[in-house]
């Protein structure tokens, strides 16, 4: 009964751990992106838990070095994964992850960072997180959450044995939980837009299983100097998507606004591990060197035009099934 209570409370707080009482066919992970103020260092850290179909379990921390384009997978016994029941906080093998603190004891990264002035996704009646009312739909293959669209960093880390001051840098946190990642998806994120404070973009387009069928779902948040513009399947927004050799073109519009994005593939990628039926057996290549050209319109008026740096970019699976040159829901 206690597990059911914890899971029920987590429905209204997507940041928390949702896997109480789960034993198999399940994964959950949080994605922490940190960039130092000199922008010489960019890392993504993913703590999580994996529960395979046969019941085998283990915990992990993935590390992506966006500059060196390398990745590492640190695994731990499942018993080392210690989530809090009343808030988002996870202890894992001497490491600690929460919305306001990051403590690392990895061979390549050691130290503690304070995450200051987080910008959470706003909660609304019937929509506790970025997925809107889909948050309450049972048996979805994968759920998504955004813990902080943008926040500051304070503190120092030992990076490959050298002390690096991250004070004044920027961070971002999101998460996923469920059974498997979608069969195909496009994901991008940046909160490094020159000359703009508290500005961040997150885009996810994916092929979503739904009652013996599938649909193309999308959730987009563009935080512009503290104001959030949302475009999503559940808001009735339209989208279009095309793919070039070294670029991804995305558009989203509703009755008031239109968002146009060109994501440029630059630099190399690091290979991360992704979940399939709870097992960490999939592969996905992610870049932290992409750039995002972004334009936001209100009717015919241009509200913003700029470029996001140090952008995360994933284009995974048979993405042709996501593409459409025409506007569609």
Give the domain range for residue 138: 2-328
Rounded to 5 degrees, φ, ψ at 254 are -135, -160
Please determine, for residue 214, whether its predicted confidence score (pLDDT) is greater than 80: yes
pLDDT in tens, 155-202: 999 999 999 999 999 999 999 999 999 999 999 999 999 888 899 999
Is residue 322 predicted with pLDDT exceeding 70?
A: yes
Q: What does the block give as tokens for 143?
A: 């759920």
Query: Residue 240: which CATH number?
Result: 2.40.370.10
Mean pLDDT of 256-269: 96
Residue 3 in this model has a pLDDT that exceeds 90: no
Length, in residues, of the chain: 329
Q: pLDDT (tens digit, 9 = 90+) per residue, 129-151?
A: 888 878 888 778 999 999 999 99
Span 54-68, average pLDDT: 98
pLDDT in tens, 10-55: 777 899 999 999 999 999 999 999 999 999 999 999 999 999 999 9
pTM, rounded to two decimals: 0.96
Task: Work out the pLDDT band at 1, boundaries 50, 70, 90.
Answer: low
Write the burial class of residue 13 (CB in 10 Å: 0-12 exposed, 13-18 middle, 19+ buried). Answer: middle
**Residue 215: predicted pLDDT:** 87
- Model confidence band, residue 2 (pLDDT cutoffs 50, 70, 90): low
Q: Which residues contact 189 (CB under 8 A, 6 or more apart)?
A: 33, 172, 174, 200, 201, 202, 203, 311, 312
d(CA 322, CA 19): 29
Nearest alpha carbon to residue 201 among 122, 259, 152, 153: 259
- pLDDT, averaged across the chain: 94
Give the rounded percent of residues in the chain with a pLDDT score beyond 70. Answer: 98
The total of structural domains in the chain comes to 1
The 10s digit of each residue's pLDDT in 226-251 is 999 999 999 999 999 999 989 999 99
Question: What average pLDDT does this structure show over 286-307?
Answer: 97
The Cα 251–Cα 201 span in angstroms is 13
When pLDDT is cut at 50, 70 and 90, the band that residue 257 belongs to is: very high
How many CB atoms lie under 10 A from the CB of residue 225? 10
- Residue 106: what pLDDT? 98
Burial environment of residue 4 by CB neighbours within 10 A (0 to 12, 13 to 18, 19 or more): exposed
């Amino acid at each position: 009964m206690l597990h059911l209570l914890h899971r029920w409370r987590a429905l209204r707080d997507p940041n928390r751990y949702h896997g109480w009482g789960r034993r198999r066919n399940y994964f959950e992970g949080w994605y922490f992106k940190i960039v130092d103020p000199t922008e010489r260092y960019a890392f993504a850290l993913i703590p999580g838990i994996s529960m395979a179909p046969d019941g085998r379990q283990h915990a992990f921390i993935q590390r992506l070095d966006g500059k060196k384009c390398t990745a590492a997978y640190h695994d731990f016994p499942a018993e080392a994964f210690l989530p809090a029941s009343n808030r988002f906080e996870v202890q894992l093998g001497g490491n600690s992850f929460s919305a306001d603190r990051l403590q690392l004891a990895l061979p390549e990264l050691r130290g503690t960072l304070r995450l200051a002035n987080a910008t959470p996704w706003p909660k609304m009646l019937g929509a506790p997180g970025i997925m809107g009312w889909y948050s309450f739909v049972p048996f979805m293959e994968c759920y998504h959450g955004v813990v902080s669209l943008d926040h500051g960093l304070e503190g120092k880390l030992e990076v490959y044995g050298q002390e690096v001051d991250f004070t004044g840098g920027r961070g971002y946190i999101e998460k996923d939980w469920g059974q498997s990642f979608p069969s195909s998806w496009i994901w991008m994120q940046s909160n490094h837009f020159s000359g703009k404070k508290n500005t961040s973009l997150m885009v996810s387009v994916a092929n979503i299983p739904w009652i013996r069928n599938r649909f193309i779902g999308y959730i987009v948040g563009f935080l512009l100097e503290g104001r959030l513009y949302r475009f999503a399947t559940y808001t009735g927004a339209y989208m279009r998507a095309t793919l070039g050799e070294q670029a991804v073109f995305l558009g989203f519009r509703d009755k008031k606004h239109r968002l146009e994005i060109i994501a440029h593939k630059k630099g190399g990628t690091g290979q991360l591990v992704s979940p399939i039926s709870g097992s960490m057996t999939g592969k996905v290549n992610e870049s932290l060197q992409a750039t995002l050209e972004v334009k936001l319109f209100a009717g015919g008026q241009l509200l913003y035009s700029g470029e996001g740096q140090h952008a995360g970019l994933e284009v995974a699976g048979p993405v042709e099934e996501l593409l459409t040159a025409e506007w569609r829901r």
